[in-house]
């Protein structure tokens, strides 16, 4: 009995002390530290079709956090991200939206060709870290019925605007000095029509024309038109060019006159022509030169037309080109009006430094002047510091002029510039 009591007491004592080996200590489990979840993005396609040349929203894009950028595979279709009421152009299948501090976006497309295209949202970034996505859908672009109008393209040359006709004869054209030139025959006359997408830099060839340029039936829209041709003048093949833009109205008609102007001619060549012309008197038969298509001592100014696009916080350049019979003609006297604030700078070869001015609102005098040599020269204009706007930058120009003994004829003096993000 005494032994049983001792055994029971030992068991009770052992249980009270925790029992077994290990020095009587116990281990407390460690609680894991929660890790932040990776950001996510949800793509919800809302449309599978749309009309050509029409903006169509095809997807809502939503992030769990503010998204810094998106990447896509658009297969050549023009796309925009719509965020905070702004349309941001997708370039090279990516778009930076970090400045908008937003989680909510829409994907909008605009394309000019019917067909079915696979559109994929391939990824996004948050705080410089990239995440992949695989959402994609086929989008069918349907062509709306084409509404057309008529166009007339009228070609002339010189500030006397002598009508141009195509000829296969590459010999020099003759004239009786003192008579008016009725037609300026040119070789290799070609007219190219270009279209462009608003907000996209550059233009796309729509059609090349030769021969008849009257009553052309074209889709109703805006075009850039470029005309080229060549002419044998005093044994030299001279290139001529002109450009401009015009809009064909729906079921209406439009006309544009293009003044093809000689290109790439030096002062030395122009002096040679003067020497050729000088012995002839009225009644003599001679070859046609520039003295037969231009006023004496005159110049022509043209704008090298393109689809002008200016990015916010960026700049764009355009060029005025000149062709002059006299040498050392002083050019100046511009007044410019713009509908947005913009900085414009001007630089000609004869100017030692560029002239820069800030413009906005009513006409302001621009105190830029420079010397025009005989033959061809140009003036480079750079535009910058413009704020974002859905309204194109409109530049209207009053003047300019040369001294009275040097008449200046100007073509396409004003212009518009598309503002994009």
Residue 202, judged by CB atoms within 10 A of its CB (0-12, 13-18, 19+), counts as exposed
- Could you give the CA distance from residue 172 to residue 289 in angstroms, rounded to a whole number? 9
CATH code linked to domain 298-421: 2.60.40
Average pLDDT over residues 129-134: 96
In this predicted model, which residue has the larger pLDDT, 129 or 145?
A: 129
Tokens of 390: 């859905």
- Could you give the CA distance from residue 254 to residue 193 in angstroms, rounded to a whole number? 14
- Could you give the CA distance from residue 350 to residue 372 in angstroms, rounded to a whole number? 8
Backbone angles phi, psi at 67, to 5 degrees: -95, 135
Which residues face 41 on adjacent strands? Answer: 63
pLDDT at 26 over 80: no
How far are the Cα atoms of 22, 24, 30, 202 from residue 27, in angstroms, in the given order?
A: 11, 11, 9, 72
Quick one: pLDDT at residue 186?
A: 97
Residue 196: band (very low, low, confident or very high) from pLDDT cuts 50, 70, 90: confident
pLDDT at 345 over 90: yes
Quick one: pLDDT at residue 194?
A: 95
DSSP 198: T
Share in percent of the chain as helix, strand, coil (round to 5):
10, 55, 40
pLDDT at 280 over 90: yes
pLDDT at 24 over 70: no
- Could you give the CA distance from residue 220 to residue 216 in angstroms, rounded to a whole number? 11
Residue 10: band (very low, low, confident or very high) from pLDDT cuts 50, 70, 90: very low
Percent of the chain with pLDDT over 90: 69
How far are the Cα atoms of 67, 187, 251 from residue 166, in angstroms, in the given order?
A: 58, 6, 29
Residue 406: band (very low, low, confident or very high) from pLDDT cuts 50, 70, 90: confident
Q: Is 58 helix (H, G, I), strand (E, B) or coil?
A: strand
Quick one: pLDDT at residue 28?
A: 64
DSSP 292: G
Average pLDDT over residues 370-397: 92
CATH 2.60.40 segments of the chain: 41-142, 298-421
Tokens of 397: 């120009």
Residue 3: band (very low, low, confident or very high) from pLDDT cuts 50, 70, 90: very low
- Could you give the CA distance from residue 413 to residue 303 in angstroms, rounded to a whole number? 7
Average pLDDT over residues 216-244: 95
Quick one: pLDDT at residue 25?
A: 52
Average pLDDT over residues 99-103: 95
Domain 41-142 has CATH 2.60.40: yes
Quick one: pLDDT at residue 4?
A: 41
pLDDT at 16 over 70: no
Query: Which H or E element spans position 62?
Result: strand 56-63
pLDDT at 95 over 90: yes
In this predicted model, which residue has the larger pLDDT, 402 or 54?
A: 54
């Amino acid at each position: 009995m005494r032994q049983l009591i001792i055994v029971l007491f030992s068991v009770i004592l052992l249980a009270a002390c925790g029992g077994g080996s290990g020095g009587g200590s116990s281990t407390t489990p460690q609680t894991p530290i929660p890790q932040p979840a990776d950001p996510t993005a949800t793509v919800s396609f809302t449309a599978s079709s749309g009309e050509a040349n029409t903006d169509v929203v095809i997807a809502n894009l939503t992030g769990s956090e503010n998204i810094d950028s998106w990447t896509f595979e658009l297969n050549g279709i023009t796309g925009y991200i719509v965020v905070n009421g702004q349309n941001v152009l997708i370039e090279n299948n990516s778009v930076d939206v970090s400045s908008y501090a937003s989680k909510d976006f829409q994907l909008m497309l605009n394309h000019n060709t019917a067909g079915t295209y696979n559109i994929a949202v391939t990824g996004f970034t948050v705080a410089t870290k990239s995440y992949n996505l695989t959402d994609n859908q086929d989008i069918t672009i349907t062509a709306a019925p084409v509404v057309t109008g008529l166009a007339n393209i009228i070609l002339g040359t010189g500030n006397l605007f002598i009508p141009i006709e195509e000829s296969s004869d590459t010999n020099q054209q003759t004239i009786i000095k003192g008579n008016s030139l009725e037609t300026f025959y040119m070789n290799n006359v070609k007219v190219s029509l270009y279209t462009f997408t608003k907000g996209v830099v550059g233009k796309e060839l729509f059609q090349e024309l030769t021969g008849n340029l009257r009553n052309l039936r074209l889709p109703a829209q805006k075009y850039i038109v470029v005309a080229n041709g060549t002419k044998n003048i005093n044994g030299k093949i001279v290139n001529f060019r002109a450009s401009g833009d015009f809009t064909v109205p729906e079921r209406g008609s439009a006309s544009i006159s293009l003044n093809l102007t000689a290109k790439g001619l030096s002062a030395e060549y122009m002096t040679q022509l003067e020497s050729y012309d000088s012995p002839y008197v009225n009644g003599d038969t001679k070859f046609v030169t520039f003295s037969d298509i231009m006023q004496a001592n005159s110049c022509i100014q043209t704008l090298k037309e393109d689809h002008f696009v200016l990015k916010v916080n960026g700049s764009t350049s355009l060029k005025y080109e000149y062709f002059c019979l006299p040498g050392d003609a002083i050019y100046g006297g511009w007044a410019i009006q713009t509908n947005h604030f913009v900085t414009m700078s001007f630089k000609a070869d004869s100017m030692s430094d560029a002239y820069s001015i800030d413009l906005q609102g009513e006409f302001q005098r621009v105190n830029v002047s420079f010397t025009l040599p005989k033959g061809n020269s140009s003036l480079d204009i750079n535009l910058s510091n413009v704020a974002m706007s859905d309204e194109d930058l409109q530049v209207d120009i009053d003047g300019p002029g040369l001294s009275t003994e040097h008449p200046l004829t100007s073509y396409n003096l004003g212009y518009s510039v598309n503002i994009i993000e």
